[in-house]
Amino acid sequence: GENISETYETEIETLSAWMERPEARQVILDPRAGDIGFDWHQEPSGKIWWTLVMGKPEARTPGGDESDPATTSQ
């Protein structure tokens, strides 16, 4: 799942707001999700965008292949 928000100043404010929204809370608390990505971007105007991506550990990265040495750790 994925959550995207704008304008909150800190990651704590963002997570608190997401936990108050049922759809966003469901993404955060999904028991199937074991991998997480959390990042932000600030526009030159000052607006901040926050993104949370949750996924299953066994899910492959798009374009990745376990048999490809470039994507397999040694």
Angle at 49 between CA 45 and CA 27, to 5 degrees: 170
pLDDT, tens digit (0-9, with 9 covering 90-100), for 21-68: 999 999 999 999 989 999 999 999 999 999 999 998 875 666 655 554
- Name the pTM for this structure: 0.69
Spatial distance between the Cα atoms of 18 and 26, rounded to a whole number of angstroms: 9
Q: Could you tell me the residue ranges of all domains in the chain?
A: 2-57
Angle at 36 between CA 30 and CA 38, to 5 degrees: 120
Return the SS3 of 70: helix
